[in-house]
Amino acid sequence: MKILVVGSGGREHAIALKLKENPEVEQIFAAPGNGGMAAFCTLANVKATDVDSMVAFAKENAVDFAVVTPDDPLVLGMADAMEAAGIPAFGPGKAAAVIEGSKVFSKNLMKKYGIPTARYETFDDEAAAVAYLKAQNTYPAVIKADGLALGKGVIIAKSEQEAVGAVHSMMSDRIFGASGSHVVIEEYLEGPEVSVLSFTDGKTLVPMVSSKDHKRALDNDEGLNTGGMGTIAPNPYYTPEIAARCMEEIFLPTMAAMNAEGRTFKGCLYFGLMITKDGPKVIEYNCRFGDPETQVVLPLLKSDLLAIFRAVRDGGRSEVPVEFSDESAACVVMASGGYPQKYQTGYEISGLDEMGQAEGVTVYHAGTKLENGKFLTAGGRVLGVTAVGDTLEDALCKSYAAVEKISFQNVHYRKDIGKIR
Ligand code: AMP
Ligand code: GLY
């Protein structure tokens, strides 16, 4: 089979590597892919958001199965476009991807179907939003732009002044572009965060092993929010008791709600949860695998990923096994100094060969490119160094040992991944 994996991050590297384990897979196209994927995939110079060109590429190259990984092409309807062109695709259609594409949609869905989440109101008028903030007078307040906003559209305001400023910057100054035309203002929740990815075909849903993302740029959860600086799996806060509640109160009701809305979700549904003192609540839904959650979840998957993808797409999810090892995994992201703000790229990465040999370690590439046989940095998050071990400590130890052997100019990584406070 010829497979197309759309996207270019560490998540896509992890998915492609896992798919390659299936002996039926002859060739994997990565569009646009990265330096690490070049070793075992055919890179295609097509932008992940260019739906028409991606479908044309898939047709020209007789792709048998397309995996649409990132949020933006899914929200644009790339999975539907592949299917319409006769190419089976993994990933929700546009109607279901709105669960991530619009926070107003997802909040209203949760309210309508009684799924636990932070209390909120939505606004399309700045004056009304400001009046609401003043009437509530409770801080911190959480202000979210409606649309995708590159995962950065959330401001946690500690005072009225900050909150009013945040609403103004989203709604009038449009710092997050058009996604600021609508905002959600919600209650601030406290508790440990857990990411749970799941496979669902709309009939059944199976959660994957839980994980924990470290979103802030600096140690001790300081600095700006990033796409994710490191992950561990399983998440120590996700006890069997919490898992059972999540299944009953959140996961299955969400699947049923999407069906009831005529928006059946088929693909990987990601639950961003907070374990509050009143129980687990939804912080956000994503319509796709998380990055870097995937880099710790898939190394623990014992089952055939391609078989799962095909079954989810065909509506036969319950017929294929989805089993995880009971080991632990840790991923430390090595980023370009300055990320998530300004940073320089084009630096040579050294130490990669040696690390490719280390037992239980996989280096997933994200912002890298291969030029004249050398790996160069080419993005904010450069590498995700993952290790699997019998215990979390073991996995962390191996991962950090590998990180210390890899280097490039201005490298930045967190030293406290997996430290639970
Ligand atoms: P989101 O993009 O919705 O995942 O939000 C980004 C981050 O902001 C989350 O991972 C949380 O750490 C934080 N956050 C979002 N909503 C809330 C909330 N209602 N209360 C507290 N923190 C939140
Ligand atoms: N790591 C968070 C996300 O993928 O949205």
Q: Would you call 316 exposed, middle or buried from its count of C-beta atoms within 10 A (0-12, 13-18, 19+)?
A: middle
Q: Would you call 96 exposed, middle or buried from its count of C-beta atoms within 10 A (0-12, 13-18, 19+)?
A: buried
Ligand 2 atom with the shortest distance to the CA of 291: 4
Q: Residue 303 and residue 324: Cα distance in Å, rounded?
A: 7
Ligand 1 atom with the shortest distance to the CA of 152: 2
Query: Contact 123/129 with Cβ under 8 angstroms?
Result: yes
Average of per-residue pLDDT across 116-129: 94
How many residues would you count in the chain? 421
- State residue 384's pLDDT score: 97
Testing ligand 2's pocket by substitution, the residue of 100, 193, 293 carrying the most ligand atoms inside 8 A of its CB is 293
Q: Residue 103 and residue 333: Cα distance in Å, rounded?
A: 28
Residue identifier of the C-alpha nearest atom 5 of ligand 2: 290
**Proportion of the chain above pLDDT 70, given as a percent:** 98
Average of per-residue pLDDT across 107-136: 95
In the reported structure, the alpha carbon of residue 154 is separated from the centroid of ligand 1 by a whole-number distance in angstroms of 7
Query: Contact 125/49 with Cβ under 8 angstroms?
Result: no
- Residues 307-318 have pLDDT tens digits of 999 999 999 999
Ligand lying closest to the C-alpha of residue 143: 1
Q: Residue 358 and residue 360: Cα distance in Å, rounded?
A: 6
- Residues 27-74 have pLDDT tens digits of 999 999 999 999 999 999 999 999 999 999 999 999 999 999 999 999
Q: Which CA distances in Å does 50 have to 3, 54, 91, 340, 384?
A: 18, 6, 16, 24, 26
- Residues 174-184 have pLDDT tens digits of 888 887 788 99
Q: Residue 353 and residue 339: Cα distance in Å, rounded?
A: 25
Strand, coil or helix: 219: helix
Q: Residue 268 and residue 250: Cα distance in Å, rounded?
A: 15
Does residue 191 have its Cβ closer than 6 Å to ligand 1? no
In the reported structure, the alpha carbon of residue 272 is separated from the centroid of ligand 1 by a whole-number distance in angstroms of 9
Q: Which domains does the chain have, with CATH numbers?
A: 2-93 (3.40.50.20), 119-187 (3.30.1490.20), 193-319 (3.30.470.20), 328-412 (3.90.600.10)
- State residue 150's pLDDT score: 61
Strand, coil or helix: 240: helix
In the reported structure, the alpha carbon of residue 346 is separated from the centroid of ligand 2 by a whole-number distance in angstroms of 25
Average of per-residue pLDDT across 387-416: 96
Residue identifier of the C-alpha nearest atom 8 of ligand 1: 154
In the reported structure, the alpha carbon of residue 364 is separated from the centroid of ligand 2 by a whole-number distance in angstroms of 16
- Between the CA atoms of 155, 158, 160 and 164, what dihedral angle is there, to the nearest 10 degrees? -10
The ligand 2 site (C-beta within 6 Å) comprises 151, 213, 227-228, 286, 290-291, 293
- Residues 330-369 have pLDDT tens digits of 999 999 999 999 999 999 999 987 655 678 899 999 999 9
Instruction: Tokens for 293, please give them.
Output: 């959650």
Side chain identity at 253, as an amino acid letter? Answer: P
Q: Which helix (H) or strand (E) holds 65?
A: strand 65-68
> HEC string of 266-321?
CEEEEEEEEEECCEEEEEEEECCCCCCCHHHHHHHECCCHHHHHHHHHHCCHHHCC
Residue identifier of the C-alpha nearest atom 2 of ligand 1: 151
Q: Which residue has the tokens 């933006």?
A: 72
- State residue 110's pLDDT score: 97
Quote helix, strand, coil % in the chain, to nearest 5: 35, 30, 35
Q: Which CA distances in Å does 415 have to 178, 214, 418?
A: 37, 11, 9
**DSSP state, residue 50:** -
Instruction: Tokens for 246, please give them.
Output: 């999540």
Side chain identity at 269, as an amino acid letter? Answer: L
Ligand lying closest to the C-alpha of residue 176: 1
In the reported structure, the alpha carbon of residue 128 is separated from the centroid of ligand 2 by a whole-number distance in angstroms of 31
Testing ligand 2's pocket by substitution, the residue of 144, 271, 286 carrying the most ligand atoms inside 8 A of its CB is 286
Testing ligand 1's pocket by substitution, the residue of 176, 271, 283 carrying the most ligand atoms inside 8 A of its CB is 283
